[in-house]
Amino acid sequence: MTFTADDPAVDQVRVSVLVAVPPDEAFRIFTEDIDLWWRRGLRYRIAAGRAGTIHLEAGVGGRLYEAFESGGDTQLTETGRVTAWDPPRRFVFEWRAVNFAPGETTEVEVAFEATASGTRVTVTHRGWNRIRADHPARHGMDAEGFLRTMGRWWGDLMGGLREFGAGRGG
């Protein structure tokens, strides 16, 4: 199978997890408790081994950022900006990897759907066709391999949400 930058298949990854709490609680956990469930380490955080916290500010215009100490100062690295806010159904934010140039963004949509056992949380990360094929964020992978890697990355993160939610509602 061959992908081109114009194919919808290279544009997005989608990951869903079931969280054993109602949608309003799943939304709150995702947004307010983000630092408690977002995995730690260099693969997931800029601060890596340093003590850092991830914050998501509520509402349109809110920032997704990581704060950490560096050289005695608090550093803030913004990786997102909220563009849609509809609790407890969904929210959307622009995503910027730390190595993105100004103006380079992708988009992450997080949807919350009631189920018989809690909430299905679905993350759709799209807009990768706007990022050039040789961009460092792609780690030299072809489109198909890169999207598989991004899917596993989001899957690992959403596993943290599911585990944290199980301890809250289950």
Instruction: Tell me the per-residue pLDDT of 89-110, one tens digit each, with 9 for 90 and over.
Output: 999 999 998 888 888 899 999 9
Choice between 139 and 81, residue whose per-residue pLDDT is larger = 81
pTM of the model: 0.88
Give residue 93's pLDDT: 97
Mean of the pLDDT values across residues 31-41?
Answer: 91
Long-range contacts, stretch 103-110, CB < 8 angstroms, 24+ apart: 104/130, 104/131, 104/135, 105/130, 106/130, 106/131, 107/83, 108/80, 109/84, 110/30
| Every domain of the chain and the residues it spans | 8-37+82-169
Question: What dotted CATH number matches 8-37+82-169?
Answer: 3.30.530.20
Encode pLDDT of 142-153 as tens digits.
878 888 888 999
Give residue 99's pLDDT: 82
Mean of the pLDDT values across residues 154-161?
Answer: 94
Going edge to edge, which strands form the sheet with 63-70? 12-19, 118-126, 106-115, 90-95, 73-86, 63-70, 52-56
